Each structure stands twice: as C-alpha cells, then as structure tokens.
Structure 1
Amino acid sequence: MKKIFSLLLILLATFPTFAHVGSSGVLLQGQAGPYRVLVNVQPPDVIPGTAKVTVFVENGGANQVQARPIYFRSGDEGAPTYDDIPAVAGQLGQFDGIVWLMEWGSSSVQVVIDGDKGKGELVIPIVAVSTAERDMPVELGIGLGLLGLLLVLLLVTVIGASVSDGLLRPGQHLTPQQKRKRWINMGIATVVCGVVLYTGSSWWDSWAADYRQWIYKPLKAKTQVAIEDGQRVFSLQVDTTNWKNQRRGNMLSYLVPDHGKLMHLFLVRVPGLDAFAHLHPERRDSTTFQAYLPKLPAGKYLVYADVVQYSGFAETIMDTVEIPALPRAEVLALKKTDDEDTYVVTAPLNNAKKVPLDENVVICGLPGTRTQLTDGSYVVWEGTAGRAFEAGKPYQLSFEVFDPDGKPATLEPYLGMPGHAAIVRSDGSVYIHLHPTGTYVMAAEQSLTGRIADTARTYKRPVPAVFRDSIDRYLASLKTMPAAEREKYLMQQMGMTTATASTHTGMEHGHRISFPYAFPKEGQYRIFLQIKRNGQVITSVFDARVTDSTTL
C-alpha cells in the first residue's frame, strides 16, 4: 500500500497546478448587478481554444447573456466584442455558450446580463494556459499519409506526362529522347516534392517544439523540516532551474497577498488525511518561505502552497515532506509564524478508529450529521446521510453552526471571509481552497477588475525590487493591526461588507455558510471547514463519497 501511494505522489507532480489541483473549472457565486448568479467556466487545455461558459441566473427574468474574454496584458481596451450565450431550452435561467481564448496567461471572462431588472455584469478570473498537446488519431494519420502519397504520385505523373505524352499526336509513340525527358522531369518533380515535404515537416516540428515550450509547467519547490531551538521549522524553496526557458523571469518579485497573506500553505498527512494544517509562511528571501509548525503528529504530508502574481495568475506549488516528531515529549510553548495558523487531528479516512483526545482533535462528520467542535459548539452539514455526490455536477455544500446550547452561532470574519474550506481527494490528486464565493482566487479577481478599469492598452510592469518592497511593507502594516480591525479592513478590500455578506458570500443566515463546488471525479474526499468564533479559528472535518455519473 505504501509503495502504491508513493507512486501516486510522484504522479501528482505532472498534474496542472494553477490555482488548485485536479479541478479545471472555475465556479463563481455572486452578484451581477441586481442578479444573483452562479457561473461555471471550463477553460480549454489548449490555447487558442474555447472555454465553455454556463450561467445560472437565480432571480429575475434574464433576456440576454453575453460574455467576452479580457486578458490582463491588453485590458479592456484590447478586448474582443461580446458573444451571445444562448438560453438552454426548458431550463429557466440557464445559459450555455463558448468564449474563444486566444492569449496565454492571466485572463478573465466578463459576463453581462440584461433582463427585467436592468443590466448587470461580473468578472470571472481564469488561467488560460496550454496543459496538453493533441495527438493525431492513428487511423487519421494513416489515411492522411496514404492520401498524401497518392497526391505526390499523381503530381509527379502529371508533370512527366506534360513534357512527353502531351506533345504526341494520335498514333504516335514516344521517342527515346522523349522517354528520357519524361523520366528526368519526373525525377526533378520527385526531388522538388521531397524538398517541399521535408520543409513542411521541419516547419511543423519547429512549431510543435515552440508550442511545447508554452505548455504550462507547474512551479516546483524543495520542502523540508528542520529543528531549530527545539522548534520544527518548515521551509519551502522555489526551484528556479530553467526559468529562462519557461519565460518566468522574476515572477517571485511580483507576488501579491491573497486574504492578507503572501502564501497559504496546507499540509495534509497521508495516507489517512488525518492531520491538517493551514499555515502562512513568511518570505525570507526571493525564493524561500518559512513557518513554524504546530503540534502536528509525525509522518508524511502532502504540501499545497498557494501563491498569486500581480497579474492575477494563481498557482499551487506541490510537494511532499516528512515531518519528524517533536524533539522532546513536552514543549512548553510552540512558536507561531502567524496568529491565524491552525491545525487539527482527526480519525483516518474510512477508519472509525478513535484518536487520543487533545485540544485540537475533532470527530469527522458526514452529510446530515452533527459534528462537535473543540469549543463545545457544533456544525451540521445539510444533506442526507449516506448521500453520494455526482462527479462534475455543481453543488452547494452548506453548513450550519450552532452554539453549545443549540442556538444559531455568530460567525466572525476569518481572513476577510465568513469561512474557508479545503477539499482533498484520498489520493491527493484533487485539492482546492474554497470560499463561499466560489473556486476562484479573490486576489486574482481584484487584480483583473483593477486592470479592466485601467484604460492603458498595454500594462507596464513596475520595477521588481520596488514592487516587492511595497508588498512587504503592506504585509508588515497588516500585522500591526488589531485582529478585529484587520478583518474589517480585509472584508472591505474584497467587497465583503456587512451589507453584501448575505448576497455575495453564500451566507443566507449569520450561522449558515455555503460553498459552491463540483467534485471533478469519483472517489473519497475529505472536507476541512474553517470558521472563526470568539476570536478562535476552528476546523471541522467531513467526508464525502463521489460517484461517476455513468454509474448512477
């Protein structure tokens, strides 16, 4: 079993890891002016290509939906015209269509809705990159090869006949000189055709090689845990080898904070997914990030580190790391890199075995069950016990939080949002950091919205050192704020004001929180829900079973 799982971990390094792992689409739940909508965008895996856009208008009568791509480099001034997104017959409020993506990099889809409530629009940030290379089907290749050979033979034959047989009168035969001339010209034609075919093949190979250089290559990093003064220190060093060929340049100087943090690090112990941490490493130098580890049990952990560039290009760095046991049995005080760093321990996936009770040990829940939290309150995951989810189908994962006495709990903002969730498949091939607004990155939306408002057709990048210094000073200023003031500021920065919280974040009630998500494939998943109460970040854990739609 360990050998099989180690092989799976190696294979994970080949998966596309922009913004999240294993989930190609982007779900956004929010407001388009007066309309509450859920938008699902499925980007292509080859650029240029078409993105599938599905819009669900939940209120009002929408008469027309249009969409267009807006690229970060060219902005609104260089964007193409809108394409109509047709309504789906028999499905009230649903519109399906496509949008062409012609440029590589950070992009967005701008959706405009027109109906009985007037007009509304919103921007869905996406990453437009090539992640695949199409292979020609063997049958098609053989057919085209035979057809090409036939055309070459016909061309050579026609050229030979045109300089010999075409000069004959009825009843005449070719002279030896004419026969020789025909063969010479057919030979020349064969050589010319060969040169043309070779030149075409070379051009195609060159074009294909250039295309391969543009295929997205996930960020790589070396992670390790060292013991320093009795503390376990996690270190992540980004591998910049071959960055020149990958056209990455000095991208690490252009990282921007998301929810007030430059990096969101998730650690999940394998194979049981029974230990989880959400940390926020600090940048030590241009390539190195470090964080003190909490009281996590020893073992092998999956590493998912989320970062965002100023252009809105969001990526997840993946690795595995071996975390050793604490250097001594009793540690009086473990250091924290960030006050909002959290961890939790629970039972292994598909295993009811009890774990030793501790202040950070929780019981794992299922749909329809009541799950106790460490502060005495509890969470109920709305749904039917034993329910299986269908792969590829959008769901609202809704949770209700109650005080120990059964009254609806009051949730406090956590990193500028009512709550967060991380979802991991049992083999680690799917990971996503979810918010009530959807699967997109908030910092990416802010960057692209700001770029659209910019009237410059071409964006001019700031000086790397100056930009990085400004970000470091901004992060330092956030750390000096009291927690309540910082949360209020982050909420305002991301448009999560009190007035819009219920419509823009999935919080229909103060104690109820929803996350839109479509599980990408069948399997067992673990959901780590994070909320904040009484100044304390609390994590609850739930398991989900997903079935392939063809087997339902």
Structure 2
Amino acid sequence: MQRSAGPYRVLVHITPPDVVPGTAQVSVWVEQGRVRTCTVRPIYFDSGDEASPTHDELSPTDQQSTRFDGIVWLMGLGATSVELQLNGPDGPATIEIPVMSIATAQRDMPAITALPLVLLGTFLFVLMVTIVGICVTQTRLRVGQQLPASWQRSRLVAMGLTSTLLLLVLTGGRFWWNSRARFYSDIVLYKAPKIRPSVESSELGNQLTITIDSNSIRQQSRPLSFLVPDHGKLMHVFLVKMSDAGAFAHLHPTRLDTLNYRAALPVLPSGQYRLYADIVYRNGFAETLTDTLTIPVLSATSSTRFSSDDSWLIGQPVDAIRQLPKLDATMAPCGVPAVRVPLADGSSLVWTDKPAQTLETNQMYRLRFAVADKAGRPAPLEPYLGMTGHAVIVQTDGSVYTHLHPVGTYSMAAEASLVERIEDTARVFRYPDPRQFRDSIDRYIAGLQELSDDERNKELAGAMQGMDHPASNGLHSNMVEFPYQFPQPGRYRIWVQVKRNGQVLTGAFDTIVEAD
C-alpha cells in the first residue's frame, strides 16, 4: 500500500501469516515526512475498535528513520485492519490497511520440537503411575516396617488402574486433537467458493455467465447478498489464455441474482483460459474466485453490447519489441532502461524504469509506466474506474495472480468497510436486511452507469481515501506507478491498463523474476 496521511506519505508491505494465529511481517518505508515512531495493531471487523489490542512498536532499520520493520499478531480470522500510527515533529497520523487474516496452510510439528515433547510426556506418564503406586503403599508404612505382600498387590493394581485411566485420557485427547485438525482442515483452512463459468451465444451476442456454487457458499458461510462494489463494479473478471497468455480480457459482469453474473464476451481466440473474479463483502473481506474456462470459436455479432469500462488485448509479442522510438526527455531519462509496447490507438506504453532484464523476489519495486503519443510526446491520461490506471500481474503457470492499483494491492472497498466499522463504537456488527441491502447496491451501481465519465470518476475518487494525484508523487500526467513485490521466482506477464480519449488501452510486458 502507498498512502498519504497528513504530512506523511508511506509505502507499507504486509506479509500475512499462512496459519492463524500467527504473526504478520510489517515493513514501512517513509517517502515523505519526518517519522520518529511507528506503531501497529490489528482491528478485527467482528469486534471493532473498542475490543482491539494495544499498539506494538516497529523498529527503525536506519538512522534516518526512513524504514520501520516488525510484526503484528493476527489472532482471529476474517477481514482485519492493520492500524498504522505515525508520530513525528509534524504531528500524528493514522492509516488503516485492510488485510485478509486467513489460514492457507496446515503445518506439522517439527521433529526437533516433537521429540522432546514425546520424551517429556513419557516421563510424566511414568512419574504419575509411580506416584500413585507410592501413595497406596509407602505412605502407609511405619518406620522400619516391611512392605506386606498384599500391599504389593495393591500397588500393582493401583498402578495398573492409573495407567489405564491415563491411557483413556490420552486416547480421548487424541480424538479431540484429530477432531480439531479436521475442523481446521474443513472449516478454518481457506477455500474459495467454487464457480461454474460458461459461454453461450444468443440474441444478446456472446455472453459469459458465472454461477457461484451454492453448496460451497453454505460450507464457507459466504454472505453473497452483502457484496459491495469496488471501483463501482460488483465483480472484476480477468481472463488469461493458458497456453501463451496471448489473450487477456477485463470484464465487469452484472448481477442477475445472488448466484449468477453475466457479461458480454469479446471475440477472444478459442482455447483454455484462466478466470479470476474479484469480489468484496460488506465486512471488508475480499477474495478471488478462480476456475478454468474453455472458449469455443466465436463469431462477432452486432448485438453484443459492451460496457465502456470493459477491455481486452489479443496477441502482443512483447519480447520482440525492444527498440524505443524517439521520446520526449521527460519520458526516457538518460541511462534508464525502458521497454515499449504499442497501444490500440497508435500511442505507446513505456516501462520507463525497468531496473534489469531479471528482477528479484522480496524487493520492493515501483513499476512506473508512461504513455507517449505517436510523436513521442507525453499523452495525458484520464481516470479509469476512478484511478490513473490498473494492472494485473500473473505468473505464466497461474500460481500467482495480483490485481494492482497505483496505491497497492489492497481493495479500496475493503478499506472503506473497515474504516466505517472502526468509527462504529458497537462491539458487535449487525447486518441489515439481506434483500434490502442487495437491492440498494444494485440501484447504486445502476445510478453510476447513468452518470457521465467525469461525474462517475468524481464519485469514485471521492470514496477512495488517501489517493494521491500523480504530480504529488513526482509523476507527470501521462505516468502511472504501481508498488509491487514479486512473491516467488518465475516468469511473469504484466498487463497495464490506462484510459485516454475515452478509450481503455492495454499493454503487456514480460519479465523474469529470480530468488534473491
């Protein structure tokens, strides 16, 4: 997340734990302002601000206090806000960062820990049996008295009964532990709801329908009636061709009912596609529904009606394009490597500061892109869904997917929900009537579509907190920047989407990431 708060601008990276309870790693880079102390705490949507723990202090990693690192414990599951408090000579400031506290792994106990515990347990078992045997015999003896044979039998009986009782307790404990492990695996361990995408051609043209599986919804307790729009859209769908990532689409289905969504489908090349659908719930929980989709050979139809915000890109040989055109001095600083790709309107999208042909994991990059017109001059951008640009980063094997914005990877709708919950002093959140809430959201989205582009972007921008104008980040009006840290090595494709002259333009870049 890259955010401004009061006199400060910071870049924050949070790595959530893969098991909960667990510790999230927090790193804060101070880009503007004089920060002396930085503290964090989690605020859970269910309990709100009033029932949240106190702040923990992050440690500065340099003398200038431009970076702070530390951990924050996440003890509960679900939508969580990591509250960041900044203090310095310029005053205090607070930033709320939405984090999905979910368990994505189930770990076995390390042998180095298990072996001492087994030995200690065995010792305690033997010690308990021995103590009982002594209690029924030795404690009854007088000084100098020999142990009678009958007492010896009593000791053995008592020790046997104690051993049996302890074994029963251990067996019950094992059953309890196994039941908790099954509960963790079946309920706690995160599983996204299943979806069934399909393609059909009708009098409305080529249509993509996404049906959310009702059984998985019940199992995972997802409140589908409480979806909220993000950037004015209830669902963001991305299609990526599996064989070569040579086709890409960004669509926004409309809600037919609680389980079904539909969008006009462009004429994409036939084949297998990966489908990613981003949604956000009223409680601030954001997730991505995924599946594969087979698109048959499609024919263009005049009846297909697309949203002006839908966009797609078919075939772009990125690796073959390396020679830059003559650019304005503000577009290509001397000595800075750059990669250019053409856009549909004849302009160019330039990755202006790609640091190397190969990037590294666990490094914070600011992926900066600029648009140049046919003459190589800066081409000012228009807001797209309330922002200067959007990006999607996918590892070519499909194992990594990120929907990225100039402010980071988090959902602004999730942030708004969590901020509203924090301002609420109630310890328990009460949901409104599901049908009324769903209908109100549908009316709101329909009202947005009736607005002009300028009015809609003004409405969307007003709902986004801490948004910076490009100039405040040292960017020109034709530039967009995305903070990102690649999570694992591999080959990646980056789709960057901007808007110019009322047209959404998409460019694709390839890069290789190696382990640091």
TM-score (norm 2): 0.92
Partners of 2:301 and 2:79 lie apart in 1 by 46
Tell me by how many angstroms 1:240 deviates: 1.8
Q: Which residue of 1 aligns with 2:505?
A: 538
Partners of 1:391 and 1:38 lie apart in 2 by 17
Structure 1 gap segments, 5+ residues each: 1-27, 353-365
SS at match of 1:414: coil
CA deviation string 1:329-369 (max 9, x = no partner): xx3525134221111112468789xxxxxxxxxxxxx9612
Please, which moves more after superposition, 168-177 or 370-379?
168-177
SS at match of 2:469: helix
Tell me by how many angstroms 1:138 deviates: 3.7
CA deviation string 1:437-472 (max 9, x = no partner): 001011111111122222222211000000000001
Partners of 2:84 and 2:277 lie apart in 1 by 30
Kindly tell me: are residues 402 and 60 of structure 1, through their superposed partners in 2, closer, same or farther at Cα, counting changes over 3 Å?
A: same
Q: Which residue of 2 aligns with 1:7?
A: none
Equivalent residues in 2 for 1:101-180 (5 A)? Answer: 101-168=74-141, 173-180=146-153
Matched, 1:299 2:271: yes
Matched, 1:522 2:498: no
CA deviation string 1:249-285 (max 9, x = no partner): xx11000111010100000001200000000011111
Amino acid at match of 1:391: T
Q: Which residue of 1 aligns with 2:228?
A: 256
Note if contact 1:400-1:512 (Cα within 8 Å) is conserved in structure 2.
yes
Q: Which residue of 1 aligns with 2:326?
A: none
Picking from 45, 48, 52, the partner of 2:18 is: 45
Equivalent residues in 2 for 1:48-67 (5 A)? Answer: 48-67=21-40
Q: Which residue of 2 aligns with 1:309?
A: 281
Aligned residues: 501
Kindly tell me: are residues 157 and 509 of structure 1, through their superposed partners in 2, closer, same or farther at Cα, counting changes over 3 Å?
A: same
Partners of 1:39 and 1:426 lie apart in 2 by 27
Q: Which has the higher contact order (CA 8 A, sep 6+)?
A: 1
Partners of 1:118 and 1:161 lie apart in 2 by 68
Amino acid at match of 2:285: F
Equivalent residues in 2 for 1:499-510 (5 A)? Answer: 500-502=468-470, 508-510=475-477
Q: Which residue of 1 aligns with 2:384?
A: 414
Note if contact 1:367-1:544 (Cα within 8 Å) is conserved in structure 2.
no
Q: Between the two proteins, what is the percent identity of the paired residues?
A: 46
SS at match of 2:456: helix
Partners of 1:375 and 1:471 lie apart in 2 by 35
Note if contact 1:266-1:304 (Cα within 8 Å) is conserved in structure 2.
yes
CA deviation string 1:267-320 (max 9, x = no partner): 000120000000001111110111111121111100000000011110100000
Q: Which residue of 2 aligns with 1:204?
A: 177
Tell me by how many angstroms 1:427 deviates: 0.2
TM-score (norm 1): 0.86
Equivalent residues in 2 for 1:385-464 (5 A)? Answer: 386-464=356-434
Q: Which residue of 1 aligns with 2:201?
A: 227
Note if contact 1:52-1:97 (Cα within 8 Å) is conserved in structure 2.
yes
Please, which moves more after superposition, 333-342 or 280-289?
333-342
Q: Which residue of 2 aligns with 1:359?
A: none
Q: Which residue of 1 aligns with 2:313?
A: 344
Please, which moves more after superposition, 36-45 or 156-165?
156-165
Kindly tell me: are residues 387 and 350 of structure 1, through their superposed partners in 2, closer, same or farther at Cα, counting changes over 3 Å?
A: closer
Q: Which residue of 2 aligns with 1:21?
A: none
Note if contact 2:3-2:466 (Cα within 8 Å) is conserved in structure 1.
no
Partners of 1:490 and 1:254 lie apart in 2 by 19
Partners of 2:311 and 2:457 lie apart in 1 by 17
Q: Which residue of 2 aligns with 1:8?
A: none
